[in-house]
Amino acid sequence: MSTLAGKHIVLGLSGGIAAYKSAELCRALVKAGVTVQVVMTEAAEHFMTAVTMQALSGRPVYTSQWDAREGNNMAHINLSREADAIVVAPASADFLSKLLHGGADELLSLMCLARPIDKVPLIVAPAMNREMWQNPATQRNVAQLKADGIHVLDVGQGDQACGETGDGRMLEAEEILEDLQAFFSPQRLAGQKVLVTAGPTYEAIDPVRGITNLSSGKMGFAVARAARMAGADVTLVAGPVSLATPRGVKRVDVRSARDMLQAVLAQVPSRGVFVATAAVADWRPANAADQKIKKDGSGQAPELGFVENPDILATVAQSPSAQNGDLLCVGFAAESHDLLAHATAKRLRKGVPLLVGNIGPATFGQDDNALLLVDAQGARELPHASKQVLATQLIEDIARRLAGTP
């Protein structure tokens, strides 16, 4: 379930061409179970109509501080008291400046100023030309707004309506939605640094052929996203997969098992949690050919010798960080049968406190899964669900272990 379900958000629109994205955001919020109250400045009405926003939100739109629909004529008070948060998207350069200086000459800024700051967070999504964004005055304003406790989202980079290219675009609706979900998620891993591996590895036979497996990386990417939602600083080491990087997660792309080991060991000393979801190839060709191996007409396949790949999880589990208790190692076991027996044996063999087992052929490439959590006390099942739901449950389990609670 979305962390936004049941929330009431006031969505404010200031003037800017990015207001068209606010329509997408409003629709996405409603779909996530949010009740949305739209408030627009006069400038915003030049870019988006109140009729459109009313249709998408299902509620009357407020545009004036003198709105007679409020019995006490205090829309700026009433609307802010009902909200779980005020989100201004787009927030123009002028509106950011107004917030900084406590300006209150129209309903939206008046409402932001009048909100109970200890109960109603203010979240703004800047949107402006790249030169306006980079201007020292804007950067000073943003820095002070953050110091004042206002949550300022990042800006996007790319083509702008003016024809220029650079920073300053408002984030896309799905990016803002992701940030809002993270904002309202319990921050159980706040302050933690988490390292996740995901996907398969690819072991080259020659320049055009190799050995790999069917892992899609979806489970590992879901774990990385769940950790980020829980407030962690997350780095994701990914094998060759075709998945978008979860928002707010740092990604390192690798190819082979040895590449992955090198990338992981570079991160381990600064991490507090390591979750090894990657399906690392156990073996690699002993000698990869420099050129494509050709058929010679004999009907005989070339002989391939194999050597064992390094065991990344076991290596990290024996590192000083893990041995002295500074690093919690969590392994994954993708088995084809006898899951409990194999996962239990693998946990002891790898020397990790928690081993997560699943049936590989049943989950590779799928959006759902079922997990078995195996530790020194026994095993616990996480029933069949989406990989994102399971990832969230796993992160909650990890957070409890870090906190020393059952």
Residue 105 predicted with pLDDT over 80: yes
What are the φ and ψ backbone dihedral angles of 260, each rounded to 5 degrees? -65, -40
Residues 264-289 have pLDDT tens digits of: 999 999 999 999 999 999 999 999 99
Residues 195-222 have pLDDT tens digits of: 999 999 999 999 999 999 989 999 999 9
Within a 13 Å sphere around the CA of 133, how many CA atoms are in the beta-carbon half?
Answer: 21
> What pTM, to 2 d.p., does this model score?
0.89
| DSSP H/E element including 233 | strand 233-238
Superfamily of domain 8-184: Flavin prenyltransferase-like (3.40.50.1950)
For residue 112, indicate whether it is catalytic: no
Among 26, 112, 162, 329, the active-site one is 162
Q: Residue 6 carries which DSSP code?
A: T
Give yes or no for a contact between 48 and 40, defined as CB atoms under 8 angstroms apart: yes
- Of the candidates 107, 93, 88, 103, the one whose C-alpha atom is nearest the C-alpha of residue 153 is 88
Q: Rounded to an integer, what is the distance from CA 165 to the centroid of its chain?
A: 26
Name, of 135-144, 159-168, 205-214, the range with top average pLDDT. Answer: 135-144
Residue 303 predicted with pLDDT over 90: no
CATH of 193-286+304-403, one of 3.40.50.2300, 3.40.50.10470, 3.90.1150.10, 3.40.50.10300: 3.40.50.10300
Averaged pLDDT score across all residues of the chain: 93
Give yes or no for a contact between 221 and 233, defined as CB atoms under 8 angstroms apart: no
Cα(348)–Cα(342) distance, rounded to whole angstroms?
10
Cα(93)–Cα(125) distance, rounded to whole angstroms?
11
Give yes or no for a contact between 103 and 109, defined as CB atoms under 8 angstroms apart: yes
| Start and end residues for every CATH 3.40.50.1950 domain found in the chain | 8-184
* Segment 140-164 mean pLDDT: 94
DSSP one-letter string for 95-133: HHHHHHHT--SSHHHHHHHHS-TTTS-EEEEE---HHHH
Residue 297 pLDDT: 83
At 94, the pLDDT band (50, 70, 90 cuts) reads very high
Residue 362 pLDDT: 67
What are the φ and ψ backbone dihedral angles of 252, each rounded to 5 degrees? -120, 120
Residues 340-391 have pLDDT tens digits of: 898 899 999 999 999 998 876 667 778 888 899 999 999 999 998 999 999 9
Residue 73 predicted with pLDDT over 90: no
Residue 339 pLDDT: 85
Residue 2 pLDDT: 75
Omega cis (within 30) before 90:
yes
Residues 55-65 have pLDDT tens digits of: 999 999 999 99
| Start and end residues for every CATH 3.40.50.10300 domain found in the chain | 193-286+304-403
